[in-house]
């Protein structure tokens, strides 16, 4: 089952990345990047890194993508063109959603007893140790790259605002 999840969401990530590269409209590219980030979160979750999966959804799929869309709207590069939507969304959207729905239904129906008898306390203890290990590494060994990345993002935001400013 884990192999099937890996293959399905790996293919979704690759398809989203290719769609990101070949889109002409920047908003559609940003939405393709959201698809890639969400499928990577599922891959992290399937590997047992629940905290990284949650951080992937909250930070990258949420905050960073809102920032990208804000910068795209702020720059307003050229005249907006009316589109009927992405052809890739029409081709892969409905069959992909149906396949994911069928896969999740199959998993929930076949693993109903195992899901009902889950040991929540053991899961929370594992989740807590996962967070403590990540935070220890992040704030000891990787503190300098973490802070440099945050400064780099701040500089990128300021650069986008300066570029978008109208000349008087």
d(CA 9, CA 74): 32
Q: So what's the pLDDT on residue 118? A: 47
Percentage of the chain beyond pLDDT 70 is: 77
Q: Phi then psi for 69, rounded to 5 degrees?
A: -65, -40
Quick one: tokens of 149?
């990345």
pLDDT band at 121 (very low <50, low <70, confident <90, very high): very low
The residues, ordered by sequence, that sit 6+ positions from 10 with a Cβ below 8 Å of its Cβ are 39, 43
pLDDT band at 154 (very low <50, low <70, confident <90, very high): confident
User: Could you give the dihedral angle defined by the CA atoms of residues 11, 13, 14 and 18, in that order, rounded to the nearest 10 degrees?
Assistant: 130
């Amino acid at each position: 089952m884990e192999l099937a999840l890996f293959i399905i969401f790996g293919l979704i990530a690759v398809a989203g990345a290719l769609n990101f590269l070949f889109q002409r409209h920047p908003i559609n590219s940003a939405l393709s990047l959201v698809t890639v980030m969400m499928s990577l979160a599922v891959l992290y979750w399937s590997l047992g890194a629940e905290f990284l999966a949650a951080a992937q959804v909250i930070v990258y799929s949420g905050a960073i993508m809102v920032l990208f869309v804000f910068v795209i709207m702020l720059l307003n590069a050229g005249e907006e063109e009316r589109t009927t939507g992405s052809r890739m969304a029409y081709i892969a959207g409905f069959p992909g959603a149906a396949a994911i729905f069928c896969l999740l239904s199959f998993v929930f129906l076949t693993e109903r007893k195992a899901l009902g008898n889950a040991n929540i306390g053991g899961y929370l203890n594992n989740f807590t140790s996962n967070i403590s290990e990540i935070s220890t590494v992040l704030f000891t060994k990787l503190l300098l790259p973490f802070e440099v990345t945050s400064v780099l993002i701040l500089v990128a935001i300021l650069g986008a605002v300066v570029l978008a400013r109208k000349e008087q």
